[in-house]
Amino acid sequence: MPILIFISLFTLLDFILLFSIGSQIGLLTTLLLVLATGVIGLHLIRKEGVSTFARARQRMKEGEIPSQELLTGAALIFGGALLMAPGFLSDLLGIACLLPSARQLLYKALIWLGLKTGANAQPGMHENTRYQQGTRYQQSNKAKPGSHTDDGAIEGDFISRDETPRRH
Protein backbone atom coordinates (compact mmCIF):
# COMPACT_ATOMS: atom_id res chain seq x y z
CA MET A 1 0.00 0.00 0.00
CA PRO A 2 2.78 2.54 0.70
CA ILE A 3 4.16 2.03 -2.82
CA LEU A 4 0.74 2.85 -4.26
CA ILE A 5 0.59 6.06 -2.24
CA PHE A 6 4.14 6.95 -3.38
CA ILE A 7 3.27 6.36 -7.05
CA SER A 8 0.09 8.44 -6.72
CA LEU A 9 1.92 11.33 -5.08
CA PHE A 10 4.76 11.15 -7.62
CA THR A 11 2.27 11.25 -10.51
CA LEU A 12 0.36 14.14 -8.97
CA LEU A 13 3.56 16.12 -8.39
CA ASP A 14 4.73 15.31 -11.93
CA PHE A 15 1.52 16.68 -13.46
CA ILE A 16 1.54 19.77 -11.24
CA LEU A 17 5.12 20.47 -12.35
CA LEU A 18 4.25 19.80 -16.01
CA PHE A 19 1.29 22.18 -15.95
CA SER A 20 3.22 24.86 -14.03
CA ILE A 21 6.16 24.83 -16.43
CA GLY A 22 3.82 24.44 -19.41
CA SER A 23 1.93 27.58 -18.48
CA GLN A 24 5.23 29.50 -18.34
CA ILE A 25 6.81 28.25 -21.59
CA GLY A 26 3.68 27.62 -23.69
CA LEU A 27 1.77 24.61 -24.95
CA LEU A 28 3.75 24.02 -28.16
CA THR A 29 7.11 24.18 -26.40
CA THR A 30 5.88 21.83 -23.67
CA LEU A 31 4.60 19.32 -26.23
CA LEU A 32 7.88 19.47 -28.16
CA LEU A 33 9.89 18.87 -24.97
CA VAL A 34 7.73 15.90 -23.98
CA LEU A 35 8.05 14.39 -27.48
CA ALA A 36 11.80 15.08 -27.62
CA THR A 37 12.44 13.34 -24.30
CA GLY A 38 10.48 10.33 -25.55
CA VAL A 39 12.57 10.11 -28.74
CA ILE A 40 15.84 10.63 -26.84
CA GLY A 41 14.77 7.99 -24.32
CA LEU A 42 14.07 5.44 -27.06
CA HIS A 43 17.45 6.14 -28.68
CA LEU A 44 19.32 5.76 -25.39
CA ILE A 45 17.45 2.56 -24.53
CA ARG A 46 18.38 1.08 -27.90
CA LYS A 47 22.03 2.05 -27.59
CA GLU A 48 22.44 1.01 -23.95
CA GLY A 49 20.20 -2.04 -24.33
CA VAL A 50 22.27 -3.54 -27.14
CA SER A 51 25.53 -3.08 -25.26
CA THR A 52 24.02 -4.46 -22.04
CA PHE A 53 22.69 -7.50 -23.89
CA ALA A 54 26.13 -8.11 -25.44
CA ARG A 55 27.81 -7.91 -22.00
CA ALA A 56 25.24 -10.31 -20.53
CA ARG A 57 25.85 -12.82 -23.32
CA GLN A 58 29.61 -12.54 -22.81
CA ARG A 59 29.29 -13.21 -19.07
CA MET A 60 27.02 -16.18 -19.73
CA LYS A 61 29.59 -17.60 -22.17
CA GLU A 62 32.18 -17.30 -19.41
CA GLY A 63 29.90 -19.27 -17.10
CA GLU A 64 29.02 -16.35 -14.84
CA ILE A 65 25.60 -15.08 -13.82
CA PRO A 66 24.96 -11.67 -15.43
CA SER A 67 23.25 -10.17 -12.36
CA GLN A 68 24.66 -6.67 -12.88
CA GLU A 69 23.54 -6.74 -16.51
CA LEU A 70 20.04 -7.83 -15.47
CA LEU A 71 19.84 -4.92 -13.02
CA THR A 72 21.05 -2.58 -15.75
CA GLY A 73 18.42 -3.93 -18.13
CA ALA A 74 15.69 -3.41 -15.55
CA ALA A 75 16.89 0.15 -14.95
CA LEU A 76 16.86 0.82 -18.71
CA ILE A 77 13.29 -0.45 -19.08
CA PHE A 78 12.15 1.56 -16.07
CA GLY A 79 13.97 4.67 -17.34
CA GLY A 80 12.44 4.30 -20.80
CA ALA A 81 8.96 3.99 -19.34
CA LEU A 82 9.55 7.13 -17.28
CA LEU A 83 10.77 9.04 -20.34
CA MET A 84 7.68 7.99 -22.27
CA ALA A 85 5.42 9.33 -19.50
CA PRO A 86 4.47 12.99 -19.88
CA GLY A 87 6.10 15.06 -17.19
CA PHE A 88 9.37 16.72 -16.34
CA LEU A 89 9.91 15.01 -12.99
CA SER A 90 9.50 11.57 -14.55
CA ASP A 91 11.85 12.64 -17.35
CA LEU A 92 14.55 13.58 -14.85
CA LEU A 93 14.25 10.24 -13.06
CA GLY A 94 14.13 8.42 -16.40
CA ILE A 95 17.34 10.09 -17.57
CA ALA A 96 18.95 9.18 -14.25
CA CYS A 97 18.05 5.53 -14.90
CA LEU A 98 19.57 5.64 -18.39
CA LEU A 99 22.92 7.27 -17.60
CA PRO A 100 25.51 4.79 -16.24
CA SER A 101 27.02 7.11 -13.62
CA ALA A 102 23.60 8.19 -12.33
CA ARG A 103 22.50 4.53 -12.32
CA GLN A 104 25.38 3.68 -9.98
CA LEU A 105 24.21 6.43 -7.62
CA LEU A 106 20.68 5.00 -7.74
CA TYR A 107 22.02 1.50 -6.91
CA LYS A 108 23.92 2.93 -3.95
CA ALA A 109 20.80 4.78 -2.81
CA LEU A 110 18.76 1.56 -3.01
CA ILE A 111 21.39 -0.30 -0.98
CA TRP A 112 21.46 2.55 1.53
CA LEU A 113 17.68 2.29 1.84
CA GLY A 114 18.10 -1.39 2.70
CA LEU A 115 17.09 -3.02 -0.57
CA LYS A 116 19.31 -5.97 -1.46
CA THR A 117 20.45 -6.23 -5.08
CA GLY A 118 22.53 -9.42 -4.93
CA ALA A 119 21.41 -12.59 -6.65
CA ASN A 120 21.33 -14.56 -3.38
CA ALA A 121 20.19 -11.74 -1.11
CA GLN A 122 17.23 -12.57 1.05
CA PRO A 123 15.36 -10.03 3.16
CA GLY A 124 16.45 -10.00 6.77
CA MET A 125 19.46 -12.24 6.23
CA HIS A 126 22.91 -10.97 7.17
CA GLU A 127 25.92 -11.64 4.92
CA ASN A 128 27.65 -13.82 7.54
CA THR A 129 24.51 -15.97 7.92
CA ARG A 130 24.40 -16.62 4.15
CA TYR A 131 28.06 -17.69 4.26
CA GLN A 132 27.43 -20.08 7.15
CA GLN A 133 24.40 -21.60 5.44
CA GLY A 134 26.39 -22.08 2.23
CA THR A 135 29.19 -23.80 4.16
CA ARG A 136 26.72 -26.12 5.92
CA TYR A 137 25.13 -26.97 2.55
CA GLN A 138 28.48 -27.80 0.99
CA GLN A 139 29.52 -30.00 3.95
CA SER A 140 26.22 -31.93 4.03
CA ASN A 141 26.09 -32.34 0.24
CA LYS A 142 29.48 -34.02 -0.31
CA ALA A 143 28.37 -37.65 -0.08
CA LYS A 144 25.14 -37.32 -2.10
CA PRO A 145 24.76 -38.19 -5.79
CA GLY A 146 24.96 -35.14 -8.02
CA SER A 147 27.40 -33.40 -5.69
CA HIS A 148 30.81 -32.08 -6.67
CA THR A 149 33.88 -34.03 -5.55
CA ASP A 150 37.29 -32.62 -4.71
CA ASP A 151 38.65 -33.27 -8.21
CA GLY A 152 35.79 -31.36 -9.86
CA ALA A 153 33.87 -34.43 -11.08
CA ILE A 154 30.13 -34.63 -10.60
CA GLU A 155 28.68 -37.92 -9.41
CA GLY A 156 25.31 -38.97 -10.79
CA ASP A 157 23.34 -41.16 -13.18
CA PHE A 158 23.28 -40.73 -16.94
CA ILE A 159 20.24 -41.33 -19.16
CA SER A 160 20.60 -40.91 -22.91
CA ARG A 161 17.50 -39.43 -24.56
CA ASP A 162 18.79 -40.00 -28.12
CA GLU A 163 18.66 -43.80 -28.07
CA THR A 164 15.47 -45.70 -28.71
CA PRO A 165 14.20 -47.58 -25.67
CA ARG A 166 14.93 -51.32 -25.62
CA ARG A 167 12.13 -53.76 -24.94
CA HIS A 168 12.91 -56.94 -23.07
* Helix (H), strand (E), coil (C) string for the chain: CHHHHHHHHHHHHHHHHHHHHHHHHCHHHHHHHHHHHHHHHHHHHHHHHHHHHHHHHHHHHCCCCCHHHHHHHHHHHHHHHHHHCCCHHHHHHHHHHHCHHHHHHHHHHHHHCCCCCCCCCCCCCCHHHHHHHHHHHHHHCCCCCCCECCCCCECCCCCCCCCCCCCC
Residue ranges covered by each domain of the chain = 8-113
pLDDT digits (tens, 9 = 90+) for 5-37: 988 999 999 999 999 999 999 999 999 999 998
71-105 per-position pLDDT tens digit: 888 888 888 888 888 889 999 998 888 888 888 88
